[in-house]
Chains A and B, each alone.
Chain A
C-alpha cells in the first residue's frame, strides 16, 4: 500500500499543535500522532503587539522538539503554519527568521481566508453527514483564540463567510483587568461581544434560516462528552442541553466545572470566554442543534496535501466554494451579472487557448475568474473612480480560500483593467508581491482586458468566441453575431494593446455575420 507520512505544525494563539498523518488512497487521512503544547502566544501579541523573548525561546524549543518527533515517525514532508498570534505581531519577519535559523522550519503565515478555507476543506472531506447538515441551512462556526469565523450555507452552498475578531484569548486579554474587578465577568464579556455580533446579524443573518451550527473550538469535546456521557460517539446536541449546562456553569463557577468536564486547571483559563461565545452564537443564529467538529487546521493542511499529491480525490468541488464566495461579494456590490457571466466565458476560453504562451496553471485560471467576477465592483461606490474603488473593495474583502498575496494580485488585475498599468516598482511599495507575481498580474490583466473589450457594450452581443492562431504573432478571435459590433470593433485595438505588449501576440477580431 502506498502511503505518505505528512506532518503539520499549527502555531495557534494558545496552543502549538503537531499532527502526524498517514495518508493513503485506501485508508484516507489518518492521524497517528497528535502532540499539543499549551502556550498563550496570543496573549503577548494581543496585549503588546509583539511576541516577547521568552515566548520566542519557548516557541523555538518546542518547534525543534516537534522536528524530532517528525523524524520519529519518518515524516516525508511537513508544513508549518501560523495564524493570528504571529500574523498580527509587529516583529513577525524577524521572528520568522529566527525560527528558521534556529530550527530550520519555514513557518508560513496563513491569511485568515486561507486558514478558514483549509479548516472548511477538512470538514467537508471528513464529515460524511456534512451534506445533510448544510442542506438544512447551516453555519460553520470556528471559535479560535484570536477570532471567530462564521460561514453560512444555503442549499448546500457556501454563501458567505465573515471573521469577527473576538476570539477566546483576545476577549480574555482585553478584559484581564476587568476580571479582577467584577463578579459579573461573564456579562461584561457578553456586552463586549454583543456589539460585534449585532452588526453581524444585521448585515448577514437576517432572513437566513440557520438550523444547525457546526462548531469548532476549545472545550467543545469536553462539553459534548459531558452531555453525552452515556452515548459515546454522539456529536450532536440540542441548544437547550447546552443552555442547561451553561446555567449550571454560571452557578458552579469556572473551576468546579472545569473539573467536572475533565479539563486540567492550566488549560481552563479560556473556559469562561468560550462558554459565553458559544451561548451568544447559539442565541444570535437561532440554531437548534450544535454539531461538534473535531477538525482543526492540521487536518485541513493534511487534506490539502493529499489533494495536491492526488492521493485523495475530493468529492466536493472546493473551487466552486471560492468562486461562489466571490460571486456573493460581486452581488453585494450590484455588478452586472450578465456582463460578468459572458466575460468569464470569454476570458477563460482565451486563457485556455493561450496555455503555451502564458505557461500559467489552474490556480491562476481561478484568480482570473475571480478577477472577472469582481472587475466592476467599484462602480457601486464611485463610477468615475471605479478602478481604485474596486481595488480597495477587494483588498478589504475576505475571499475564502484565497491567500493575502493572491488577493492582492486579483485587486491589481482589476485595477489595471480599467486604470493605468503601474510598473512593478510602483506596485511593490507597501505590497507583499514579488516580481514573478507582477508578471502573472500583467498576463492575466491582458486577458481580462481583451475579454472586457469583447463585451464593451455590456449587452452580450458576442456570446461565443473561437480562437485560432494565424501565425505566432497573431491570434484570431472569431465571433458569430448578427448584432452591430461597431463599438466593440472600434475600441478593440486600443483595449488590446497591452495584450500585445505582454504576449507579443496581436489579437484580431474576426466577425462573421451569421448564426
Chain B
C-alpha cells in the first residue's frame, strides 16, 4: 500500500464525523415533512446519543489528555485538538437542539393540542393546587434533600441523573451565609405528569423537576430558598479494563460498575438562567472546565421526549404503526428445521419479524433430535425469550453453550444477571474472551437426523435482541449448508479456547483473518480495474474509519473502481479528492428505523458476483479487537434479494443524505427521479412478498390464450 493514500489530509476525524451523524438526526427532527411526534423522537435520540458520546468518546479523549498522550489520529489531530473541536461543535449543536424544541416543536405541540408547561409559575390556580397535592402525595416521600455546609461534605451526584440545585439562607438571620443544597429528581417517578386544563380543554403536562422546584421551600423549612435550578452531570464512564491483569473478569467488571459512579465529570448541563453564585459552586465542586459547561435553554435531558411520544392519542402526528411481516417460506410452518432443509432462508428485520430467530432457538430447545445449541450473545433484551429458550433447552438435557459478552457497553449489569441464570439452568457459559469482545452473531444447532448429523446455523448482522430487532434494520441467514456448519463448529471451538481450524470453508473471522479478507476483496477489484475490466464495490455499514481499508478504497478509486458506500454514522473517508476518491460516493440514511445492516458487494469481474454480510463495520475495533464474522450469501435467489436491498438504498431520495467534498451532507437532488424512501419501500415490499405467496396460481382475471 502506497503511503500517498494515508495522508492525514484525506481523512476526517471520527468524532467530528460522528457529530455530523447526530446533526443529521437533528435534521430529521427539524424536518417539517416528518410527522410532529416522530420529530420528538429524533430530538430525543440526538440527546441520548450525545450522552453516550460524552461518556465514551469524550471521556476517552480526556483520558488521553490527562495521560499527556501526544499521538495523532488518522486526520492528524491530537486529543486536545479533538476535544476543543468537539466542544465548540457540540455547543452550537445543543443551541440548535433547544431552538428546535422551543421555536418549532413546542408551538407545534400546542397546535396539536398538547401543552407542555415548562415553568411552574405559569400554572393556573387550579393546576397549581393539583401539582402541590401531587407533590405531597407522590414526590415528597421519595426525595432526599441534601444541604452542604462545613459539617456535611458535598454529596455524590450520580452520573446522568437530573438534580435541582438551590441556594438557601437561614430564615430570620440577615447576615447568614448562603448555603448550597441539592436534591435528585427521582428517576423512579415519571418525568412527565399530566395535569388538568379545564380552561383550554387541552392535554397539558408538566415536568417533574418543575413540580419539585415549585415546592422546594417545603424541603428546607428553616431556610429561605433564593433560587432553584436544574443541573446534570456526565462522568467518565468508559470501561477500560486491563484484561490481561484481571484474573477474574466477572469480578473485575462488577467492581468497575461500582466505581463508575465516581468518574471524573466531563460535562455539566445547567439551566441557562442559573444564578451565578450557584454555578460557581457547581463548577468548583465538579472541577469541570469552562467548555464542559453547557447552559441549557429549556428542559435538561431531552430523552423525556421519548416518553412524550408515548402519550396516548395524537395518532395523526405519528407514523402509522407497522405490522411486522412474517417471513415467506416460514409462515404457517411448524417445523423450522424442515423449512431450512428445503433451502436457505434470508431474514430482513424489522420489515420481517424476528420471531423465526426466536423460534429457531425455541424449537431447538424442545426438539428431541437436537443434541446441542451454541450461541453468542452480545446484547439481549430485558426479558429475552431467547435466554428463556436456552435455559429451557438445558433443562431438557440439551448441551447448551453460550458465550455471553460481558463487555457490551452499559449492559454489563444486565448481562451478569442473566448469565448467572443460564448457568444455574445448566448451560455452559463462557464469559467472553480475554482482550477481545465477541461481537459476532451466530447460533449453531446440532441435530441428529436419520441420515446423519446436521448442523443448522443462524448468522446475523444484528444482536439477538427481540426488542431492538423492531427498531434496527438487520439481516440474517438461516442455513444448514455443511461447509457453514463445519465453520460454525470451528468458531465455537475457538471461542471455547481451542486452536483455530486448519482452514475455513466460507466464514472469515476477525480479528485473525477478516481484515486481510476485506483487503483482498477490495484489491481484487483494483486489479480488475487496472486490467480494464469493470470493477464495482457497494458497501453498507454503520461506520467507516479504518485507515488501511480507506487507503485501499482510495487506491481502488484511483484505479477506476466504482465505489458506492452507504454509511450511516462515522465516515472518515473523504469524497471528491482529485485523483484519490473521485469514484467514491458516500450516502447516509437516517430514518424511522436505525440502519444497522452490514452488506458488502464485490463485482468480481470474470467470476461470480460476491455478496457478504457481517457483524463488522470497517472500523479498527471491529477488525482488530473483536470477534466478528463475515459470511457469504451464495444462493443465487438470496444474493439477488440482498443486492436489491443495496440497490433500493442507493436509490433513496427522501431520507438519504450524500456526503459532499467539504464533509457536509446534503439531501439527494432528485433530478427527475421519483421520490423513494428506502425504509418505506421495504415495509411495502415485505408485505408484497407475503401476498405473492397467498395468491392462488390463477388470478381473478381470465387471460385469453394467445394463438400458437
Contacts and interface: CB of A to CB of B under 8 A. Distances in A.
Interface of A: 1, 3, 5, 15, 22, 24, 27, 32-38, 65, 68, 71-74, 221, 264, 267, 294
Given A72-B371, A72-B372, A294-B502, 11 more contacts: A1-B450, A1-B451, A5-B453, A35-B498, A36-B499, A38-B499, A72-B401, A74-B453, A221-B502, A264-B499, A264-B500
B341 to A, nearest CB: 15
Contacts of B501: 34
A149 to B, nearest CB: 22
A24 B498 contact: no
A283 to B, nearest CB: 27
A1 B486 CA distance: 21
Contact of B428 (A68, A73, A74, A267): A68
22 contacts: A1-B450, A1-B451, A5-B448, A5-B453, A32-B453, A32-B486, A33-B489, A34-B493, A34-B501, A34-B502, A36-B493, A36-B499, A37-B498, A37-B499, A38-B499, A65-B496, A68-B399, A71-B371, A72-B371, A73-B372, A74-B446, A294-B502
Contacts of B190: none
Closest 7 A-B residue pairs measured CB to CB? A72-B372, A36-B499, A1-B451, A72-B399, A74-B371, A74-B448, A35-B498
Contacts of B486: 32
Interface in B483-504: 486, 489-490, 493, 496-502
B34 to A, nearest CB: 50
B496 A3 contact: no
Given A73-B371, A73-B372, A74-B448, A36 B498 contact: yes
A22 B453 contact: yes
Nearest to A3: B452
B96 to A, nearest CB: 51
Interface in B330-385: 371-372, 374
Interface string B221-264: 00000000000000000000000000000000000000000000
Contacts of B451: 1, 3
B493 A33 contact: yes
Nearest to A65: B496
A72 B502 contact: no
A34 B371 CA distance: 17
Contacts of A27: 452
A69 to B, nearest CB: 8
B423 to A, nearest CB: 14
Question: Which bucket holds chain B's interface residue count?
Answer: 20 to 34
A73 B449 CA distance: 11
Interface in B62-96: none
A218 to B, nearest CB: 11
A219 to B, nearest CB: 11
A32 B489 contact: yes
Contact of B499 (A3, A5, A73, A267): A267
A27 B448 CA distance: 16
Contacts of B446: 72-74
A74 B453 CA distance: 9
Interface string B179-193: 000000000000000
B700 to A, nearest CB: 47
Contacts of A74: 371, 446, 448, 453
Interface in B280-306: none
**B451, B493, B497, B499: residue with the most chain A Cβ atoms closer than 10 Å:** B499
B28 to A, nearest CB: 47
A1 B371 contact: no
Interface in B560-605: none
**B428, B448, B451, B453: residue with the most chain A Cβ atoms closer than 10 Å:** B453
A20 B497 CA distance: 18
A264 B502 CA distance: 11
Contacts of B499: 15, 36-38, 264, 267
A22 B454 CA distance: 11
A34 B502 CA distance: 9
Interface string B101-130: 000000000000000000000000000000
A235 to B, nearest CB: 13
Nearest to B512: A264
Given A36-B499, A65-B496, A73 B452 contact: no
A65 B492 CA distance: 13
Interface string B366-410: 000001101000000000000000000000000101000000000
A139 B675 CA distance: 73
Contact of B452 (A1, A15, A267, A294): A1
Interface in B461-516: 486, 489-490, 493, 496-502
Contacts of A34: 490, 493, 501-502
Contacts of A37: 497-499
Nearest to A26: B451
B435 to A, nearest CB: 14
Nearest to A38: B499
A5 B490 CA distance: 18
A27 B454 CA distance: 14
A15 B451 CA distance: 32
A65 B430 CA distance: 13
**A72, A73, A74, A264: residue with the most chain B Cβ atoms closer than 10 Å:** A72
**A32, A38, A65: residue with the most chain B Cβ atoms closer than 10 Å:** A32
Contacts of A68: 399, 428
A120 to B, nearest CB: 21
Contacts of B452: 1, 3, 22, 24, 27
Contacts of B498: 35-37
A25 B574 CA distance: 60
B456 to A, nearest CB: 14
Nearest to B448: A74
A65 B453 CA distance: 20
Contacts of A264: 499-500
A13 to B, nearest CB: 15
Nearest to B401: A72
Contacts of A35: 493, 498
Contacts of B490: 34
A38 B371 CA distance: 27
Contacts of B372: 71-73
Interface string B430-454: 0000000000000000101011110
A73 B372 CA distance: 7
Contacts of A5: 448, 453
A37 B498 CA distance: 5
A63 to B, nearest CB: 13
Nearest to B369: A74
A9 B490 CA distance: 17
Interface string B20-33: 00000000000000
A71 B493 contact: no
A312 to B, nearest CB: 15
A1 B401 CA distance: 29
Nearest to B399: A72
Contacts of A32: 453, 486, 489
Nearest to A267: B499
A38 B494 CA distance: 12
A6 to B, nearest CB: 12
A38 B498 CA distance: 8
A38 to B, nearest CB: 6
Contacts of B497: 37
Contacts of B399: 68, 71-72
B476 to A, nearest CB: 23
A74 B447 CA distance: 9
Nearest to B444: A72
Interface in B511-560: none
Nearest to B486: A32
A22 B501 CA distance: 18
A59 to B, nearest CB: 14
A33 B500 CA distance: 12
B512 to A, nearest CB: 8
A255 to B, nearest CB: 17
A74 B452 CA distance: 11
